[in-house]
Chain A
């Protein structure tokens, strides 16, 4: 393979040099990508059925595909058609993108690859070299717009590659990774602007993280919204009087959703840090009447203009979070009646497993729906959504407290998905608890660990041993349609399709297809190379529907492995892309 100055390799060139002529496979690859069309704004607004153009496929964050070639009647005939070994090193929770049958893959070593989605043949690859002192790791998502594939990196750079050739167009450093700033999810392109969230604001650098907007053609930063409120405002004074240099956390570690009608991005923010409120200075509450200890904008939805970064409104779901219970995840934009009135909602589910809806035009809190058993929230104000916390679950120095769910969450970064077919939200969930102990974690001067609390994860006292769950909740009346349960933790996002199927993966290396109306298991893959902790997609190439998922032990809910020691995973943590289709 030849490596050009930009670091991208072309298989075609290899064939030419080795054989003096174009190999047939090279012709096929070349032809497939030559036919690729630029991704237009209109395509992002209304993606072709066979494409997967962004993290959750559509701006509304549904994670739903209308493809129906694979359906309830024939899914039992699903076969593995090709697989691709990804580079070892680091963990990945990959969401491949697909446009015009070309699949784009980001390996955890920041090796970016274009693959023929029908044949599984490599077309080009581009290697971005991380600094030696930055650990490799995957990104959950990427973006494609016009002729550019837009990539986020672990050292907080944004890259634009030519989607046809893999050639680097621009490289923009957004933050200095030596302070811990990092990207673990990629950007969203909304109204022509790249919007990117930053993470890694735990302890290396105070002041929190930020969302930034970037010019598509140059990567230049257009605006920045800090995720920790500052200044002499009610929001800025919500940190219990602690100065900005002592405010930590509020990572923005997943991509948001976009409402083109309002021209607003809806994106989440994680919890304050360290988790223990006595250590963070957020407790005990200050006697100053001008000060609160809600720690804004942690555990909030931010509604931002993608062109200016103007913060239109915010809503905080969990104030002064002491248990690492992020509300940082996917935001689904769903329009349904509520109390007899049509509402434009933004729906999200935090680690507590509580589904919550806001009116996305105003930020007004609308409703909440509990799912797995939890003991952290005593009650929810039915007007504001404010939560009364069970004081017995708040970690206290010198005691071990008990909370459900445990810190990885009943539902974490594994995204829920919504099917317009059934008007149902499909939630990948786990049921477990934790004995939580505040722990000094200052082993070295530079080398620290965690959020100053340790967790002994245990099964729910009333549990039946079935830790893994997929829950189906009908959003027209918030009724539970069905629940699928199994012992191995459910560890991937859900993927509902127009074929009436919900795909989902689990820790025990199995990929499942469930009936979207009953939860019945219609198909199970053979055991794959590793646990399935990523975002499955489905796409069309050469007129045929494929379903793809990456296998890799990617931490997150994989931490539940301690509860299921009977599930053995490979030592060196292989990463593999698997692609399934119906047999011919």
Chain B
């Protein structure tokens, strides 16, 4: 049935809403929903109805993505995990040229190509219900990088000199939180960058004076011997360092596999295998305790 309605009276409804909001903060609404990621909450894989459960359980199929700076290190760790599980490692190397992917793309990769995909940070509340992350096989940091020889710590950077930060990272959030607490005249402008690479490029071309980036990306770029080899990691002071564990992503329904991989990572951490791999690559990370 149609409902007769009256024109919306903004102020009255607004007041009612504010009141309701006050109540709302004290008592949950009768219906509430789980927090959701923003796009395509129900992941979709092309032809997903044709993808069945794998039958060959003597193999550990893992995905690595050469667009990830650590992919060779991650592959070596995945091989070690497979060996620890007494499974044959089968590597699937992703070949996409897309500069950015929505995380739901991994859903299709997990259905079709791999049991685990390497290279995902442990972020509280950062994953939808379909995905889970193993325990971390290493911890790496976001680092502040500069070219100016007079800037050895963030504290040396004069107010008004810009920082370029890979957009939306945990370290970016922490930096912005810190800046918000400062008087306006003491802040550094912070420019969001589309990626760690873009932040480093902005530093090299002079758009920013300091870049806030994921240490493995800096490692990868410097390893490549390009023009950014002269960039220096500076002391984050007055910011505390931001480090995150990195593990492998798998479907949340794979609880047995998840437990087995977690146990293996713990064993490989304890016996020094992972530390040895990190050392072999001179990789800027440490094993997780």
Binding site for B on A (CB under 8 A): 88-91, 132-136, 177-180, 203-206, 241-243, 245-246, 248, 274, 278-281, 284, 286-287, 324, 369-373, 375, 378-379, 397-398, 402, 404, 407, 437-459, 461-462, 471, 478-480, 482-485, 514, 518-521, 553, 555, 559, 562-563, 572-573
Q: How far is the CB of A134 from chain B (nearest CB, A)?
A: 8
Q: How far is the CB of B107 from chain A (nearest CB, A)?
A: 11
Q: How far is the CB of A170 from chain B (nearest CB, A)?
A: 25
* Contact call B173/A438, Cβ cutoff below 8 A: yes
* Contact call B168/A478, Cβ cutoff below 8 A: no
One of A279, A370, A449 near B102 (C-beta < 8 A): A449
* Contact call A440/B2, Cβ cutoff below 8 A: no
How far is A458 from B6 in the complex, measured between Cα atoms in Å? 24
Interface size of B by Cβ–Cβ distance < 8 Å?
91
How far is A452 from B123 in the complex, measured between Cα atoms in Å? 13
* Contact call A442/B121, Cβ cutoff below 8 A: yes
Q: Which B35-75 residues have a C-beta within 8 angstroms of A?
A: 35-42, 44, 46-49, 65, 67-69
Residues of A within 8 Å of B105, CB to CB, are 135, 447
* Contact call A445/B68, Cβ cutoff below 8 A: yes
B271 contacts the other chain (CB 8 A): no
* Contact call A179/B99, Cβ cutoff below 8 A: yes
One of B3, B47, B189 near A483 (C-beta < 8 A): B3
How far is A520 from B3 in the complex, measured between Cα atoms in Å? 9
A-B contacts, 7 listed (Cβ < 8 Å): A180-B99, A375-B18, A438-B173, A443-B103, A443-B127, A447-B105, A448-B101
* Contact call A279/B100, Cβ cutoff below 8 A: no
* Contact call A482/B180, Cβ cutoff below 8 A: no
Stretch at the interface among B191-199, B226-234, B253-261, B279-287: B191-199
* Contact call A284/B121, Cβ cutoff below 8 A: no
B72-114 CB mask vs A (1 if < 8 Å, else 0) is 0000000000000000000000011111111111100000000
Q: How far is the CB of A252 from chain B (nearest CB, A)?
A: 18
B24 contacts the other chain (CB 8 A): yes
Residues of A within 8 Å of B67, CB to CB, are 445-446
* Contact call B168/A461, Cβ cutoff below 8 A: no
Q: Which B175-217 residues have a C-beta within 8 angstroms of A?
A: 176-177, 180, 184-185, 187, 189-196, 198, 202, 207, 214, 216-217
One of B6, B23, B98 near A133 (C-beta < 8 A): B98
Closest to A436 in B: B35
* Contact call A445/B176, Cβ cutoff below 8 A: no
How far is A37 from B241 in the complex, measured between Cα atoms in Å? 69
One of B10, B30, B127 near A370 (C-beta < 8 A): B10
How far is A458 from B65 in the complex, measured between Cα atoms in Å? 37
Q: How far is the CB of A331 from chain B (nearest CB, A)?
A: 23
Residues of B within 8 Å of A447, CB to CB, are 101-103, 105-106, 120
Contacts A281-B191, A444-B249 supplied; 11 other A-B pairs, CB < 8 Å: A204-B100, A246-B191, A324-B38, A443-B123, A447-B103, A449-B37, A454-B36, A459-B31, A482-B5, A485-B3, A563-B33
How far is A267 from B121 in the complex, measured between Cα atoms in Å? 40
Q: Which B10-42 residues have a C-beta within 8 angstroms of A?
A: 10, 13-14, 16-18, 20-21, 23-25, 29-42
Closest to A207 in B: B194
How far is A342 from B100 in the complex, measured between Cα atoms in Å? 49
* Contact call B33/A456, Cβ cutoff below 8 A: yes
How far is A482 from B248 in the complex, measured between Cα atoms in Å? 54
Say yes or no: A449-B46 contact (C-beta < 8 A), given A438-B173, A555-B40, A559-B36.
Answer: no
Say yes or no: A135-B46 contact (C-beta < 8 A), given A279-B172, A404-B17, A444-B68.
Answer: yes
How far is A438 from B46 in the complex, measured between Cα atoms in Å? 31
One of A178, A206, A245 near B97 (C-beta < 8 A): A178
Residues of A within 8 Å of B1, CB to CB, are 520-521
Say yes or no: A440-B35 contact (C-beta < 8 A), given A246-B192, A248-B194, A397-B173.
Answer: no
Say yes or no: A204-B194 contact (C-beta < 8 A), given A91-B44, A397-B173, A458-B31.
Answer: yes
Residues of A within 8 Å of B6, CB to CB, are 480
Which of B100, B169, B176 has the largest count of A CB atoms less than 10 A from its CB?
B100
One of B2, B39, B40, B126 near A484 (C-beta < 8 A): B2
Residues of A within 8 Å of B173, CB to CB, are 279, 397, 438, 440
Say yes or no: A448-B100 contact (C-beta < 8 A), given A135-B105, A454-B35.
Answer: yes
Q: What are the nearest 6 A-B pairs in CB distance?
A: A450-B38, A519-B2, A461-B20, A562-B33, A133-B96, A246-B191
Q: How far is the CB of A555 from chain B (nearest CB, A)?
A: 6
B136 contacts the other chain (CB 8 A): no
Q: How far is the CB of A44 from chain B (nearest CB, A)?
A: 34
Residues of A within 8 Å of B172, CB to CB, are 279, 440
* Contact call A439/B106, Cβ cutoff below 8 A: no
* Contact call A279/B167, Cβ cutoff below 8 A: yes
* Contact call A482/B4, Cβ cutoff below 8 A: yes
* Contact call B35/A444, Cβ cutoff below 8 A: no
* Contact call B189/A241, Cβ cutoff below 8 A: yes
How far is A478 from B8 in the complex, measured between Cα atoms in Å? 11
How far is A212 from B33 in the complex, measured between Cα atoms in Å? 40
* Contact call B31/A444, Cβ cutoff below 8 A: no
Residues of B within 8 Å of A373, CB to CB, are 8, 13, 17
How far is A233 from B69 in the complex, measured between Cα atoms in Å? 39
Residues of B within 8 Å of A439, CB to CB, are 125-126
* Contact call B184/A284, Cβ cutoff below 8 A: yes
Residues of A within 8 Å of B176, CB to CB, are 278-279, 397
Say yes or no: A442-B170 contact (C-beta < 8 A), given A402-B24, A448-B102.
Answer: yes
* Contact call B49/A88, Cβ cutoff below 8 A: yes
* Contact call B2/A482, Cβ cutoff below 8 A: yes
How far is A248 from B202 in the complex, measured between Cα atoms in Å? 16
Say yes or no: A246-B164 contact (C-beta < 8 A), given A135-B46, A281-B189, A439-B125.
Answer: yes
Residues of A within 8 Å of B106, CB to CB, are 444, 447
Q: How far is the CB of A452 from chain B (nearest CB, A)?
A: 4
* Contact call A274/B168, Cβ cutoff below 8 A: yes
One of B24, B39, B99 near A555 (C-beta < 8 A): B39
How far is A398 from B177 in the complex, measured between Cα atoms in Å? 8
Say yes or no: A562-B21 contact (C-beta < 8 A), given A136-B46, A440-B123, A454-B125.
Answer: no
Which of A135, A274, A484 has the largest count of B CB atoms less than 10 A from its CB?
A135
Residues of B within 8 Å of A204, CB to CB, are 98-100, 194
B264 contacts the other chain (CB 8 A): no
* Contact call B33/A458, Cβ cutoff below 8 A: yes
B149 contacts the other chain (CB 8 A): no
* Contact call A245/B198, Cβ cutoff below 8 A: yes
Q: How far is the CB of A310 from chain B (nearest CB, A)?
A: 30
Say yes or no: A448-B24 contact (C-beta < 8 A), given A246-B192, A443-B121, A453-B38.
Answer: no
* Contact call A450/B17, Cβ cutoff below 8 A: no
Closest to A282 in B: B192
Which of B49, B98, B170 has the largest count of A CB atoms less than 10 A from its CB?
B98
* Contact call B120/A443, Cβ cutoff below 8 A: yes
B166 contacts the other chain (CB 8 A): yes
Closest to A454 in B: B35
Say yes or no: A443-B38 contact (C-beta < 8 A), given A284-B184, A483-B3, A573-B44.
Answer: no
Q: Which B112-139 residues have a C-beta within 8 angstroms of A?
A: 119-121, 123, 125-127, 133
